[in-house]
Every structure is written in structure tokens, then in C-alpha cells.
A and B are shown apart, each in its own frame.
Chain A
Amino acid sequence: MLITKLKEREEILSVLNSKNVFIFKCFGCKEVYLPEGEIDLLLTELKCMERMARVDYLCREEFTVKYLGKYADVLKKADKIVVFSCGVGVQVVAKCIPETPVIPGCDTHYINGFQGLTTQDVDCEMCGQCWLNLTGGICPITSCSKSLLNGPCGGANKDGKCEVNKDMDCGWVLIYKRLKLLGEEEILKRHSVNIRDYKLIINGDKKE
């Protein structure tokens, strides 16, 4: 199973405060615990409940494509999308609407038991410190064979394929291309050194 926790307030506040943000909240599957009450409190406080769509199974690309169609008019005006879901949902939305920055509203943590069953070609490792806001909505942990957090290794071949498996795209080349498309490649330079906190996958939700 997995559990999502609201990201640190200051991390998402500036994004939620921007006028043209659109919000998806995935109440999703029974495998995921979403802190829905906390999310609604925050959105009410920031007066953005009316810019939020409550949906389920964002992890299914077909569903996400339908939601994006349903909200196409408002999404056209949105300069950012915040997604409250597990890491898979965020990545599927980012994949389906690659020209708009997609920001995770939650960190996804691991707890014992089986995980969401509807993941398709993107994955979430439940690392507990979602990086998707820095990487154009493509997870560096699951899309890079070395789970590198600070850019690519030198191993990708000329076609941008991974040194480990020529059928696999280099995750960091994908991230670079997505950030270029978003006009956000500055993120690659701007942010300080990213390092994983492995105690998050051991403690999970047992921390409190």
C-alpha cells in the first residue's frame, strides 16, 4: 500500500497562490490513502476550491485523457497544474499535457501491503520526497536506471537510450526535453544538490 502526505506548505503555497493554477485531486483507489481533509482545508483557506477537480484513477492514462478533455477550457488558461495524488497520477497528467508544468501536491510514501494496481508505463517508488516539480513531471528515480537526482550519467547512447537497456529511454534526456518544452530548463541549473533521504522509505508513515 501507499500513503500520500501533503507536501511542506511553503513548497506548494506559491504555486497554489498563482491565479492561473488548476488543481486535480485524485481520491483514487483503495490502495492509496489521500489526506483529503487536509487538502480541502488548505484549498479552502487559499480560496481555490473552485479551481479544483475531484477525480479518480489518474494513474489510468485513458481516464486522465478524458478528464483533460472535460476540463480543456480551463486548462487552456492554466499556467500550472497541481496534482494531489500518488506519484503515478502526477506523472500521467504530466505526460498527457506536456506543455504545462505539473506540480505534485503530495509526497508518496510506502507502507506494507500491495500497491496501486493500475500503473501502466510510469511508476512511483514511494520514496517519500516527490521530485516531480523539479523534473517536468518525469520521475528520475523510476525512469533512470541509477535513480540519479542531479542529471544524467555519461552512459546514454547517441539515440538517448540507457546504457543498461537499449529499449529504455534515458530518463534524464526525457526530463531535459520536457523541461525545454516547458521553458523551465533553468531548473536544472538553479537547484542545489539533490540527495535522497533513505530513512523515509524505512519509517514511512510510522514516523509519527
Chain B
Amino acid sequence: MNFEEKLKSGKFVITSEIGPPKGTNIMPHIEEAEHIKDKVDAFNVTDLQSSVMRLGSLATSHLLIEKGLEPVFQMTCRDRNRLALQSDLLSAAVLGIRNVLILTGDHTVLGDHPDAKPVFDLDSISLLKVVSDLMKGKDMAGNELDGVPYFFPGAVVSPGYEPQELQIIKMEKKIEAGAKFFQTQAVYDLVAFEKFMEKASKFGVPVLGGIVLLKSAGMAKFMNENVAGVNVPERYIKMMAEADKKDRPKVSIQIAAELIKGMKNLCSGIHIMPLGWEKYVPDVLDASGF
């Protein structure tokens, strides 16, 4: 079964993430993914994550397919106008990429080329609509396609974002525009996540809860102050602060496993964003009972 079929079958799915490097040294990342391919259903490939110039998501997704792994090709609207976005979607289709995750993208000023032109010709909702139209054989201008692509389009949602109603409205608009699954921003507060899922589950579209491995108490505090929709409870910050530096991965794995176990009955799967700690993903899955 592929990722789409697994989600439709009701299996609890697990996705992880590959952040392509700045440079061409991609093989270590692919090998890391190969190590855990029996436990992970698909690998998101980020698109110039945090607006930092890197190897592309399209080429990396293709390399994953060559190794027998299933990618989720992430696409942001930051760097390409509507011609390039549509063209890259067609390129993805001929390379065998089915799963696409559509995001608006971080602003260019947050990355390592802050003087770049921010494009944002389209946004997450209009690009999802474009994906849907391409699947019907039409480009944005209404021209017929010679060869129609198939995609399994997804989108993101931030359960802890305030005002939450605005996030739910946008989620609904994404579904109308064609989103068939959601992956969420990092979740640390299961009570708040359960409340969010009460609203989100009525749409009947599968949601994969986001897991970001905590690396330190400082990282947790930074996210609490700066990252929209992320609320790390004081208890986890304390656990990380009290751990010796060498024990931090162990504590982080323990926290992630606790969250994953808590999410099992709330949503359709989990999406792990290791942010450089890819080597601990197998331990997280072991500790979570997978």
C-alpha cells in the first residue's frame, strides 16, 4: 500500500522528514531514511526550509523514489511564480512523485538570503486549487494539458495558533481547494490538541500530529516565545533543563513517545520533524511502541 492507500485504510501512519543539505552531499540523508523505511510510511522533503538556500525538494524526492522510499514533496510559494510552480508540479508527476504538501512558506527575510525577492505570487490555498485543476487536465489559464498528472495533495495546520477559529476557517478552505490530508505544527499540549481535533475531525480529512524533538530547555523556551502556535508545557522544559547534556536525547525521546502515545487515539498518524536529530527517530518509534 502507498501512503494514500494507508491513510484511506485507516492505518495509523508515520511520516518523517528529510531536510536537504546546503550542498550536494545528500546520500547520508537518504541512507538515514533507508534505515527506518520499514517503520516510516513516507518522508517529507522540505523546500528550502526556513528560507535557507539548499538542495531542492524535487531532486531529493526523486532520489527517494529511486531507493524505493515514498516522498512527500513539499512546495512553498516563496520562490516561484505560478508558471514555475505549475511546471515543477508537472516535473514531479513525470518523476513519479504523487504526494505533495502545499505551504505558503516562510518569508525570505527569515533565511540566509534576506535580500532575495519574496515571490508569493500564489499562496497555500490558491496553489492547492492549482494542483486540483492540473489533476482535471487544466492549467491556471484554463489551457488543456497534454497528459494529466495525479497527485495526493496535503496541507498544514497549526493546532495551537490563536485565534484558532481563523486557523479552522483556513483549514476548511484548504480542504475545499483540494487538501486530502494535513500535517500539523509541533504539538506539545495534548489537552489543547484534543480540543483542536474535536473541531478538525468533523471535516473527515486525516490529520497527522506534528512531533518536533526537543533538544534543550532553551529550544523549548525559544519556541514558546517565537514560534506561532507552539506551547511547550513547563513540565517538559523542566525535564529537559534537569537532564545532563548527554542524557538530553534520552529525555527528548521519552517526551516524544509520551506525546505520540497520547495522539494515537486522537488523529490519523504522526509526522516527526527531527530537525537534525534524524538518528534518534528509530528510538522514538521504539519507545512509542512501533
| A interface residues, Cβ below 8 angstroms from B | 145-158, 160, 163-164, 172-173, 176, 185, 188-189, 193-196, 198
The distance in angstroms between the C-alpha atoms of A91 and B95, with both chains bound, is 47
Q: Contacting chain A: which of B103-111, B187-195, B276-284?
A: B103-111
**Residues in A neighbouring B158, C-beta threshold 8 A:** 154
Q: With A146-B123, A150-B123 in contact, do A193 and B177 touch (Cβ < 8 Å)?
A: yes
A151 touches B125 (CB 8 A): yes
Partner of B104, one of A153, A185, A194: A153
A152 touches B170 (CB 8 A): yes
A163 touches B169 (CB 8 A): no
A193 touches B110 (CB 8 A): no
The distance in angstroms between the C-alpha atoms of A164 and B118, with both chains bound, is 12
| B interface residues, Cβ below 8 angstroms from A | 104-107, 109-110, 118, 120-126, 129, 140, 156, 158, 161-163, 165-166, 169-170, 172-173, 177, 185, 226-229
The distance in angstroms between the C-alpha atoms of A151 and B123, with both chains bound, is 9
B36 to chain A, nearest CB (A): 27
Nearest A residue to B162, CB-CB: A158
Nearest A residue to B185, CB-CB: A154
The distance in angstroms between the C-alpha atoms of A149 and B261, with both chains bound, is 38
The distance in angstroms between the C-alpha atoms of A198 and B82, with both chains bound, is 11
**Residues in A neighbouring B123, C-beta threshold 8 A:** 146, 148-151, 153
Partner of B120, one of A147, A158, A189: A147
A151 touches B106 (CB 8 A): no
Partner of B172, one of A148, A152, A189, A193: A189
A151 touches B166 (CB 8 A): yes
Partner of A156, one of B110, B118, B228: B228
B173 touches A189 (CB 8 A): yes
Nearest A residue to B81, CB-CB: A198
Partner of A150, one of B126, B140, B165: B126
B126 touches A163 (CB 8 A): no
**Residues in B neighbouring A158, C-beta threshold 8 A:** 162, 228
The distance in angstroms between the C-alpha atoms of A189 and B166, with both chains bound, is 10
28 A–B contacts, CB within 8 A, in A order? A146-B107, A146-B118, A148-B104, A150-B124, A150-B125, A151-B169, A152-B170, A153-B123, A153-B124, A154-B104, A154-B156, A158-B162, A158-B228, A160-B162, A163-B107, A164-B110, A176-B163, A176-B165, A185-B165, A188-B166, A188-B169, A189-B169, A189-B172, A193-B129, A193-B173, A193-B177, A195-B122, A195-B126
The distance in angstroms between the C-alpha atoms of A185 and B74, with both chains bound, is 30
Q: With A148-B123, A164-B110 in contact, do A154 and B228 touch (Cβ < 8 Å)?
A: yes
**Residues in B neighbouring A149, C-beta threshold 8 A:** 123, 126
B104 touches A173 (CB 8 A): no
The distance in angstroms between the C-alpha atoms of A164 and B110, with both chains bound, is 7
Partner of A164, one of B109, B162, B166, B229: B109
In this complex, the member of B162, B177, B185 whose beta carbon has the largest number of chain A beta carbons within 10 angstroms is B162
Nearest A residue to B230, CB-CB: A158
A182 to chain B, nearest CB (A): 15
Partner of A154, one of B109, B129, B165, B229: B229
Partner of A173, one of B105, B110, B129, B163: B163
In this complex, the member of A145, A156, A195 whose beta carbon has the largest number of chain B beta carbons within 10 angstroms is A195
**Residues in B neighbouring A157, C-beta threshold 8 A:** 226-228
